Amino acid sequence: MNDQYKSRTEAGATIEAEQTPKRVPVKWIVAAALIFVLIGASVTFGVFFSKSAKDIYLLSEYNAYKQLSTELEKKYGNQMEFQEKTLEKPSSTDMKISGNVDMSMAQGDPNLEMLQRILKETAITIKTEQDPKAKASAGSIMLNAQGTKVGFDMFYSDTQAGVKIPLIYDDYFYLNTKDYGQFMRMFDPYYVGPETLEIDYFEWKDLKLTEAEQKHLKEHYSTFLMEQLKEEYFTKEKGIAYKHEGEEMKLTKVTLAMSPEETKQILTNLVSHMSEDEKLIDILTKRAVSMAKASSVNTQAQIEKDYTNPKVAQKEIEKGLKEMKQDVEKAKYPKGFTSTLLVTKDNVVVDRTLQLAVQPKDRIESKEVVEFAVKTKNVPIDDNKTDKLFKFEVGSKGQSDSFLSFESTNTMTEQKENRIEKRKLNLLLEEKGQTPTNIGLTVDSTFKNSGEVEREFSLQADEDIPSMSGTLTQKQDIDLEKERADHVFDVELNVEDGFESATLFLNIDSKTELKEKVTIPSMNANSAINVLEMTEEDVYAVQEHAAYRIQSLMQELSNKYY
C-alpha cells in the first residue's frame, strides 16, 4: 500500500483533509477512449467556488491544460489553421529538393567524387494538386540530373486511377476504378475481394471532436469523475519550500492518493461507465472506420475483421471495452495510485509526480509488477524564462525484464525579437540480457518573430551509433488571407563514426496555394492505354520500348559523368 495512502489518516492534525487487413488494434482504440473521456471531462473543472484540496487539484490540472493549449496555439496556430484549410479547399503544392554530400573518404576516389558531383547537380521536383472534397489528387515526381529527367505522373479520382512513366512510355496507363475486380482476375482467376478500387485518406481532422461530442463527454463524465474522486482521496499542505537553480518559492502541495482497492474500483467503474455509453462507442467507431479505410488500398480479400464496416468496428470496440473491464478487475495495483502537484497561489502547476504500479492478471503468479512514473516541471525563473521537464518511465530500473525511460528538458527564454529554447532529450532502453540503448539529443533553437527558426542539434549515442550534429534553418511565410504558405528548410548534417566523416546538405523549398478548383486528368481509350484492354502483344511491346528507353538513359548518363 503506498505511503501517501497510509499517511492519509495520520496527517489529519497537520494537513487539511480534501491480405489487406483493415484492422485497428482494439485495445489501442479503447485506450484512446480514456484520453477522449479525460480531455472532454476536464473542461468543466475551470470554475470552483471553494478551495478544498480536491478543487485545487482539479483546477490546477485544468489550468495546465489551458496553458499547454495556449503555447501550442502561439507556436503552431497559423500552421494548424492553414493545414485545416487545405483539408477543406483544393490546393496545389510545388516542392523542390536539392542537396549535396561532402565525404572525407571521397578524396582521391574517382567514383565517390563522381557521386558527389551527381548529387550536387541533381534536384527532385514534386508537384501535387488535390481536392479533398472530391477525394481526388494528381501529381508528379521528377528527378533532374543535369538536364536528364526521370520521373512519373499519377492521378486518382473516384472513377479512374492512372500513371505515366515517360522513361517507359509516353502515354498514361489507366484503370476505371469500377473495373478493379476484373483487373485483379487477369492475374489471379480465383481473386475474391473488392470489385472497386478505393483509396481513402486519413486526415487528422477525422480525430477532432465535434462540439456536440465535446459537450457529451463534458456532461457525461465530469459529474461521474467528480463523484468517483472522493474528497478523502485528496490532501493539501501549504507553505512547501521549493528550490530551483538557487531560487526558492513557497508552494501548495496537493496530493491525490488512492489505495490498491480504491484504484481498482475507480478504474473498473470508469471502464464500466464507458462500456455503457453508446455515444462514446459511436465516437470511437467513426474514428476506427476512418483509420481503417485509410490504412491501405482495398486490393485483396479481407483476411481479418473488416473495420471499414461500422457494424464490425462497433462490435469489436464493445468487445474491447468488455475485455478491458475484465483485465482491470483481475489485475492488481499493489501501490495504488498517487499524483502529487506543487502549485502556486494562482493554481499553476510547477511540479507534478504521478505513480502507478500494475500487476496484470497473467503476471500475478510471477509477482512481476509494471511500474509507471511521470514527472513534469514548469518552473518560472523570472518574467521571461521558464524551465520545463517531462519524464516518463515504464518498468523498474535494474529489477524488471525491461525498462524504458524518456526525458525531455527545455529552458525557454522570451526576448524582444525572438524566443530561445534549449532542449535536451534522452531515451534509455534496457532489456534483460541485452546491452542497454542510450540516446541523447540536444537542440538549441531560436524562434524569430519574422517566422524564421534556427536550430543547432547534436546526437549522442552508444558506440555503435555514429555521432551526428548539424543545423536546421526553417523559414516560413504563411498568409491566411491570401491563402498561401511558403516553407524553406536548409539542413546541414555532420556524421562521424570515428574513422570517416561526411556532411550532408539538404534544401527543401515548398510553396502551397489554395485554389477554387484543380485540374484532375480524365482518360479514355483514345488518349491513354486502358490496362484492362491490353493484350499480351501490347505488354510485350511496352516492355521492349521500356528496355530501349532505359538503355538510352544509361548511355546518356555515362556520357555525362564518365
pLDDT tens readout for residues 71-98: 888 888 888 889 889 888 999 999 999 9
- Among residues 371, 370, 368, 390, the alpha carbon closest in space to that of 379 is found at 390
Q: Is the pLDDT of residue 22 over 90?
A: no
Q: Is the pLDDT of residue 24 over 70?
A: no
Confidence of residue 217 (pLDDT cuts 50, 70, 90): confident
pLDDT at position 301, please? 41
Tell me the three state secondary structure of residue 246: coil
For range 135-155, the mean pLDDT: 89
CA distance 351 to 364: 33
Query: Residue 255: what residue type?
Result: T
Give the other-Cβ count within 10 Å of 211's Cβ.
Answer: 7
CA distance 422 to 385: 11
For range 239-258, the mean pLDDT: 92
Cell of 130: 488535390
Cell 524569430 found at: 448
Q: Is the pLDDT of residue 17 over 50?
A: no
pLDDT at position 31, please? 54
pTM over 0.85: no
Q: Is the pLDDT of residue 467 over 70?
A: yes
Task: Name every residue whose Cβ is closer than 8 Å to that of residue 36 and which is 6 or more positions away in sequence.
Answer: 209, 217, 280, 283, 284
For range 179-193, the mean pLDDT: 88
